[in-house]
Amino acid sequence: MAQSAPIRYTKLIEKLIRNFQRRTPLRTGSLVITMFGDCIAPRGGVVWLGSLIEALAPLGISHRLVRTAVYRLCQDGILDNEQVGRRSYYSLTPSGRRSFIEATDRIYAETDHPWDGEWDLIITSQLSTDERNTLRKDLQWLGFRSLGSDLLAHPIADQGLLHSHLQSLSCAHKVVLMRAQLPAGPIENNLLNLVTATWQLEDLEAAYDEFLSLFRPILNSLSTLDQLKEADAFYLRTFLVHEYRKILLRDPALPAQLLPPRWKGHTAYQLARELYRSIAIPSERFVDMTFRNQIGQLPTASNQFSNRFGGLV
Protein backbone atom coordinates (compact mmCIF):
# COMPACT_ATOMS: atom_id res chain seq x y z
CA MET A 1 0.00 0.00 0.00
CA ALA A 2 1.28 3.47 -0.87
CA GLN A 3 2.15 5.83 1.95
CA SER A 4 -0.44 8.33 3.12
CA ALA A 5 -0.52 11.60 1.23
CA PRO A 6 0.29 14.81 3.12
CA ILE A 7 -2.64 16.36 4.98
CA ARG A 8 -2.52 19.36 2.64
CA TYR A 9 -3.53 17.10 -0.23
CA THR A 10 -6.09 15.16 1.80
CA LYS A 11 -7.90 18.39 2.63
CA LEU A 12 -8.19 19.18 -1.07
CA ILE A 13 -9.87 15.80 -1.60
CA GLU A 14 -12.17 16.52 1.32
CA LYS A 15 -13.10 19.80 -0.34
CA LEU A 16 -14.32 17.88 -3.39
CA ILE A 17 -16.39 15.61 -1.15
CA ARG A 18 -17.93 18.56 0.71
CA ASN A 19 -18.63 20.25 -2.61
CA PHE A 20 -20.63 17.18 -3.66
CA GLN A 21 -22.41 16.75 -0.33
CA ARG A 22 -23.60 20.37 -0.24
CA ARG A 23 -25.78 19.81 -3.27
CA THR A 24 -29.38 18.99 -2.57
CA PRO A 25 -30.86 16.66 -3.40
CA LEU A 26 -27.77 14.42 -3.38
CA ARG A 27 -27.28 13.15 -6.95
CA THR A 28 -26.22 9.62 -6.07
CA GLY A 29 -27.48 8.22 -9.38
CA SER A 30 -25.39 10.70 -11.34
CA LEU A 31 -22.26 9.70 -9.42
CA VAL A 32 -23.03 6.00 -10.01
CA ILE A 33 -23.24 6.77 -13.74
CA THR A 34 -19.84 8.48 -13.56
CA MET A 35 -18.29 5.44 -11.86
CA PHE A 36 -19.88 3.07 -14.36
CA GLY A 37 -18.69 5.01 -17.37
CA ASP A 38 -15.24 5.84 -16.08
CA CYS A 39 -14.21 2.73 -14.13
CA ILE A 40 -16.58 -0.20 -14.67
CA ALA A 41 -17.52 -0.05 -18.37
CA PRO A 42 -13.91 -0.45 -19.62
CA ARG A 43 -13.40 -3.39 -17.25
CA GLY A 44 -16.15 -5.74 -18.32
CA GLY A 45 -19.13 -3.56 -17.44
CA VAL A 46 -20.53 -5.72 -14.59
CA VAL A 47 -20.24 -4.91 -10.90
CA TRP A 48 -21.53 -6.30 -7.61
CA LEU A 49 -23.84 -3.93 -5.73
CA GLY A 50 -21.76 -4.40 -2.58
CA SER A 51 -18.75 -2.93 -4.40
CA LEU A 52 -20.67 0.21 -5.27
CA ILE A 53 -21.87 0.53 -1.68
CA GLU A 54 -18.30 0.16 -0.41
CA ALA A 55 -16.92 2.69 -2.89
CA LEU A 56 -19.58 5.31 -2.14
CA ALA A 57 -19.64 4.93 1.65
CA PRO A 58 -16.59 7.24 2.28
CA LEU A 59 -18.50 10.00 0.50
CA GLY A 60 -21.26 9.87 3.11
CA ILE A 61 -23.67 7.98 0.83
CA SER A 62 -25.64 5.29 2.66
CA HIS A 63 -26.37 1.84 1.30
CA ARG A 64 -30.05 2.82 1.11
CA LEU A 65 -29.25 5.74 -1.20
CA VAL A 66 -27.10 3.50 -3.40
CA ARG A 67 -29.83 0.84 -3.63
CA THR A 68 -32.41 3.50 -4.48
CA ALA A 69 -30.13 5.03 -7.11
CA VAL A 70 -29.42 1.77 -8.95
CA TYR A 71 -33.10 0.80 -8.77
CA ARG A 72 -34.05 4.06 -10.48
CA LEU A 73 -31.35 3.61 -13.10
CA CYS A 74 -32.85 0.20 -13.85
CA GLN A 75 -36.31 1.76 -14.08
CA ASP A 76 -34.91 4.32 -16.52
CA GLY A 77 -33.52 1.57 -18.75
CA ILE A 78 -29.86 2.46 -18.10
CA LEU A 79 -28.86 -0.52 -15.93
CA ASP A 80 -29.79 -4.20 -15.87
CA ASN A 81 -29.88 -6.30 -12.71
CA GLU A 82 -28.87 -9.96 -12.36
CA GLN A 83 -29.44 -11.82 -9.11
CA VAL A 84 -26.94 -14.58 -8.27
CA GLY A 85 -27.86 -16.13 -4.95
CA ARG A 86 -28.23 -13.25 -2.52
CA ARG A 87 -26.00 -10.92 -4.52
CA SER A 88 -27.11 -8.36 -7.10
CA TYR A 89 -24.93 -7.53 -10.10
CA TYR A 90 -25.48 -4.54 -12.36
CA SER A 91 -24.52 -3.87 -15.96
CA LEU A 92 -25.48 -1.44 -18.70
CA THR A 93 -28.48 -2.17 -20.89
CA PRO A 94 -27.89 -2.07 -24.68
CA SER A 95 -29.38 1.44 -24.85
CA GLY A 96 -27.40 2.47 -21.77
CA ARG A 97 -24.23 1.15 -23.39
CA ARG A 98 -24.88 3.17 -26.57
CA SER A 99 -25.34 6.31 -24.50
CA PHE A 100 -22.14 5.61 -22.59
CA ILE A 101 -20.18 5.13 -25.81
CA GLU A 102 -21.43 8.48 -27.09
CA ALA A 103 -20.61 10.17 -23.79
CA THR A 104 -17.16 8.55 -23.63
CA ASP A 105 -16.35 9.82 -27.11
CA ARG A 106 -17.19 13.33 -25.92
CA ILE A 107 -15.57 13.32 -22.49
CA TYR A 108 -12.11 11.98 -23.32
CA ALA A 109 -11.69 13.30 -26.87
CA GLU A 110 -9.87 16.38 -28.14
CA THR A 111 -11.90 19.60 -27.97
CA ASP A 112 -10.41 21.33 -31.03
CA HIS A 113 -12.77 20.62 -33.92
CA PRO A 114 -11.75 21.47 -37.53
CA TRP A 115 -14.40 23.34 -39.50
CA ASP A 116 -15.00 23.98 -43.19
CA GLY A 117 -17.41 26.89 -42.65
CA GLU A 118 -20.54 24.84 -43.34
CA TRP A 119 -23.61 24.46 -41.10
CA ASP A 120 -26.05 21.59 -40.61
CA LEU A 121 -29.61 22.92 -40.68
CA ILE A 122 -32.74 20.95 -39.76
CA ILE A 123 -36.14 22.30 -40.80
CA THR A 124 -38.83 20.95 -38.45
CA SER A 125 -41.98 22.68 -39.75
CA GLN A 126 -43.61 19.33 -40.63
CA LEU A 127 -43.39 18.04 -37.07
CA SER A 128 -46.07 18.30 -34.44
CA THR A 129 -45.34 20.49 -31.43
CA ASP A 130 -44.63 17.44 -29.27
CA GLU A 131 -42.35 15.91 -31.92
CA ARG A 132 -40.50 19.19 -32.35
CA ASN A 133 -39.95 19.57 -28.61
CA THR A 134 -38.74 15.98 -28.30
CA LEU A 135 -36.37 16.40 -31.24
CA ARG A 136 -35.02 19.70 -29.92
CA LYS A 137 -34.34 18.19 -26.51
CA ASP A 138 -32.69 15.09 -27.96
CA LEU A 139 -30.45 16.98 -30.40
CA GLN A 140 -29.22 19.34 -27.69
CA TRP A 141 -27.00 16.39 -26.76
CA LEU A 142 -25.32 16.82 -30.18
CA GLY A 143 -24.98 20.58 -29.78
CA PHE A 144 -27.95 21.69 -31.90
CA ARG A 145 -29.84 24.82 -30.89
CA SER A 146 -32.94 26.57 -32.22
CA LEU A 147 -32.51 29.49 -34.60
CA GLY A 148 -36.25 29.97 -34.85
CA SER A 149 -39.38 27.98 -34.15
CA ASP A 150 -38.78 25.60 -37.08
CA LEU A 151 -35.01 25.60 -37.47
CA LEU A 152 -32.22 23.75 -35.61
CA ALA A 153 -28.56 24.37 -36.41
CA HIS A 154 -25.03 23.22 -35.66
CA PRO A 155 -21.80 23.91 -37.56
CA ILE A 156 -20.06 20.51 -37.28
CA ALA A 157 -22.58 17.85 -36.29
CA ASP A 158 -21.53 14.21 -36.16
CA GLN A 159 -23.45 12.87 -39.15
CA GLY A 160 -23.60 9.29 -37.91
CA LEU A 161 -24.97 10.29 -34.51
CA LEU A 162 -27.37 12.79 -36.07
CA HIS A 163 -28.98 10.20 -38.36
CA SER A 164 -29.02 7.64 -35.55
CA HIS A 165 -30.89 10.03 -33.27
CA LEU A 166 -33.36 10.97 -36.00
CA GLN A 167 -34.06 7.31 -36.75
CA SER A 168 -34.54 6.48 -33.07
CA LEU A 169 -37.20 9.20 -32.86
CA SER A 170 -38.96 7.93 -36.01
CA CYS A 171 -39.13 11.40 -37.50
CA ALA A 172 -36.32 11.34 -40.08
CA HIS A 173 -38.88 11.31 -42.90
CA LYS A 174 -40.54 14.50 -41.59
CA VAL A 175 -37.53 16.80 -41.33
CA VAL A 176 -35.44 18.49 -44.00
CA LEU A 177 -31.66 18.32 -43.61
CA MET A 178 -29.60 20.98 -45.35
CA ARG A 179 -26.00 22.19 -45.51
CA ALA A 180 -25.31 25.91 -45.60
CA GLN A 181 -21.98 27.50 -46.53
CA LEU A 182 -20.72 30.77 -45.06
CA PRO A 183 -19.29 33.26 -47.57
CA ALA A 184 -15.50 33.32 -47.71
CA GLY A 185 -13.78 35.87 -45.52
CA PRO A 186 -13.75 36.88 -41.85
CA ILE A 187 -16.70 35.78 -39.73
CA GLU A 188 -18.96 38.73 -39.02
CA ASN A 189 -19.52 39.95 -35.46
CA ASN A 190 -23.29 39.59 -35.75
CA LEU A 191 -22.87 35.83 -36.32
CA LEU A 192 -20.48 35.56 -33.38
CA ASN A 193 -22.92 37.46 -31.17
CA LEU A 194 -25.76 35.19 -32.30
CA VAL A 195 -23.72 32.08 -31.49
CA THR A 196 -22.68 33.43 -28.07
CA ALA A 197 -26.28 34.19 -27.11
CA THR A 198 -27.96 31.13 -28.65
CA TRP A 199 -25.46 28.59 -27.32
CA GLN A 200 -25.16 30.47 -23.96
CA LEU A 201 -21.39 30.48 -24.16
CA GLU A 202 -20.92 32.94 -21.32
CA ASP A 203 -22.68 30.60 -18.86
CA LEU A 204 -20.68 27.67 -20.16
CA GLU A 205 -17.39 29.51 -19.84
CA ALA A 206 -18.27 30.47 -16.26
CA ALA A 207 -18.81 26.78 -15.48
CA TYR A 208 -15.44 25.92 -17.00
CA ASP A 209 -13.83 28.68 -14.95
CA GLU A 210 -15.31 27.20 -11.76
CA PHE A 211 -14.00 23.78 -12.77
CA LEU A 212 -10.52 25.22 -13.26
CA SER A 213 -10.63 26.97 -9.89
CA LEU A 214 -11.57 23.69 -8.20
CA PHE A 215 -9.01 21.39 -9.80
CA ARG A 216 -6.03 23.58 -10.70
CA PRO A 217 -4.78 23.75 -7.05
CA ILE A 218 -4.93 19.95 -6.88
CA LEU A 219 -2.93 19.55 -10.08
CA ASN A 220 -0.36 22.04 -8.80
CA SER A 221 -0.05 20.10 -5.53
CA LEU A 222 0.70 16.77 -7.22
CA SER A 223 4.30 17.81 -7.89
CA THR A 224 4.93 17.91 -4.10
CA LEU A 225 3.92 14.25 -3.61
CA ASP A 226 6.26 11.28 -3.77
CA GLN A 227 3.37 8.83 -3.71
CA LEU A 228 -0.39 9.09 -3.92
CA LYS A 229 -2.79 6.90 -1.96
CA GLU A 230 -4.90 4.66 -4.17
CA ALA A 231 -8.12 5.83 -2.50
CA ASP A 232 -7.25 9.52 -2.91
CA ALA A 233 -6.42 8.93 -6.57
CA PHE A 234 -9.69 7.10 -7.16
CA TYR A 235 -11.94 9.72 -5.55
CA LEU A 236 -10.02 12.53 -7.20
CA ARG A 237 -10.47 10.80 -10.56
CA THR A 238 -14.17 10.20 -9.90
CA PHE A 239 -14.90 13.83 -9.03
CA LEU A 240 -12.68 15.10 -11.85
CA VAL A 241 -14.67 13.14 -14.42
CA HIS A 242 -17.97 13.83 -12.66
CA GLU A 243 -17.52 17.61 -12.70
CA TYR A 244 -15.98 17.68 -16.17
CA ARG A 245 -18.71 15.46 -17.61
CA LYS A 246 -21.49 17.70 -16.29
CA ILE A 247 -20.05 20.69 -18.14
CA LEU A 248 -18.80 18.94 -21.25
CA LEU A 249 -22.13 17.28 -22.03
CA ARG A 250 -23.65 20.78 -22.11
CA ASP A 251 -20.87 21.97 -24.42
CA PRO A 252 -22.09 22.16 -28.04
CA ALA A 253 -18.59 21.37 -29.38
CA LEU A 254 -18.34 24.44 -31.59
CA PRO A 255 -15.31 25.12 -33.80
CA ALA A 256 -12.67 27.55 -32.55
CA GLN A 257 -13.71 30.16 -35.15
CA LEU A 258 -17.07 30.59 -33.37
CA LEU A 259 -15.75 30.62 -29.80
CA PRO A 260 -14.56 33.58 -27.73
CA PRO A 261 -10.78 34.15 -27.64
CA ARG A 262 -8.87 32.05 -25.07
CA TRP A 263 -11.87 29.75 -24.63
CA LYS A 264 -11.80 28.22 -21.14
CA GLY A 265 -13.09 24.90 -22.43
CA HIS A 266 -9.74 24.22 -24.10
CA THR A 267 -7.89 25.04 -20.87
CA ALA A 268 -10.23 22.76 -18.90
CA TYR A 269 -9.53 19.88 -21.29
CA GLN A 270 -5.77 20.31 -20.91
CA LEU A 271 -6.09 20.34 -17.11
CA ALA A 272 -8.39 17.30 -17.08
CA ARG A 273 -6.03 15.39 -19.37
CA GLU A 274 -2.93 16.17 -17.32
CA LEU A 275 -4.60 15.39 -13.98
CA TYR A 276 -6.24 12.20 -15.25
CA ARG A 277 -2.95 10.93 -16.64
CA SER A 278 -1.24 11.65 -13.30
CA ILE A 279 -3.70 9.61 -11.22
CA ALA A 280 -4.76 6.83 -13.61
CA ILE A 281 -2.35 4.15 -12.34
CA PRO A 282 -2.95 4.47 -8.56
CA SER A 283 -6.69 4.89 -9.10
CA GLU A 284 -6.78 1.67 -11.13
CA ARG A 285 -5.16 -0.13 -8.21
CA PHE A 286 -8.08 1.02 -6.05
CA VAL A 287 -10.50 -0.38 -8.65
CA ASP A 288 -8.64 -3.70 -8.43
CA MET A 289 -8.96 -3.75 -4.64
CA THR A 290 -12.59 -2.61 -4.38
CA PHE A 291 -14.81 -3.65 -7.28
CA ARG A 292 -16.00 -7.22 -7.90
CA ASN A 293 -18.13 -9.05 -10.47
CA GLN A 294 -19.55 -12.59 -10.43
CA ILE A 295 -16.11 -14.24 -10.59
CA GLY A 296 -14.08 -11.82 -8.49
CA GLN A 297 -11.77 -8.95 -9.44
CA LEU A 298 -12.76 -6.98 -12.52
CA PRO A 299 -10.81 -7.81 -15.70
CA THR A 300 -8.02 -5.60 -16.98
CA ALA A 301 -9.18 -2.38 -18.62
CA SER A 302 -9.67 -2.41 -22.38
CA ASN A 303 -7.63 -0.42 -24.89
CA GLN A 304 -10.45 2.13 -24.87
CA PHE A 305 -9.31 3.11 -21.39
CA SER A 306 -5.62 3.50 -22.26
CA ASN A 307 -6.55 5.67 -25.27
CA ARG A 308 -8.41 8.25 -23.18
CA PHE A 309 -7.26 11.86 -23.43
CA GLY A 310 -5.01 10.97 -26.36
CA GLY A 311 -3.27 8.15 -24.47
CA LEU A 312 -2.53 7.68 -20.79
CA VAL A 313 1.12 6.69 -21.21
Domains assigned to the chain: 1-113+199-313 (1.10.10.10), 118-181 (3.30.70.240)
Residue 134 has pLDDT above 70, yes or no: yes
Least confident of 5-19, 97-111, 173-187, 237-251: 5-19
**pLDDT at site 187:** 84
Q: What integer pLDDT is reported at residue 158 of this predicted model?
A: 86
The band of 185, judged by pLDDT with boundaries at 50, 70 and 90, is confident
Specify the pLDDT at position 226.
63
Residue 114, pLDDT > 90, answer no
pTM of the entire predicted model: 0.89
State pLDDT tens for residues 260-294.
Answer: 999 999 999 999 999 999 999 999 999 999 999 99
CB 91 within 8 A of CB 79: yes
State percent of the chain over pLDDT 70.
94
Query: Is the pLDDT reported for residue 7 higher than 60?
Result: no
**Closest to 259 measured CA to CA, from 171, 180, 187:** 187
Nearest C-alpha neighbor of 255 from the set 110, 102, 109, 111: 111
| Ramachandran area for residue 151 (φ above 0: left; ψ -120 to 50: alpha; else beta) | beta
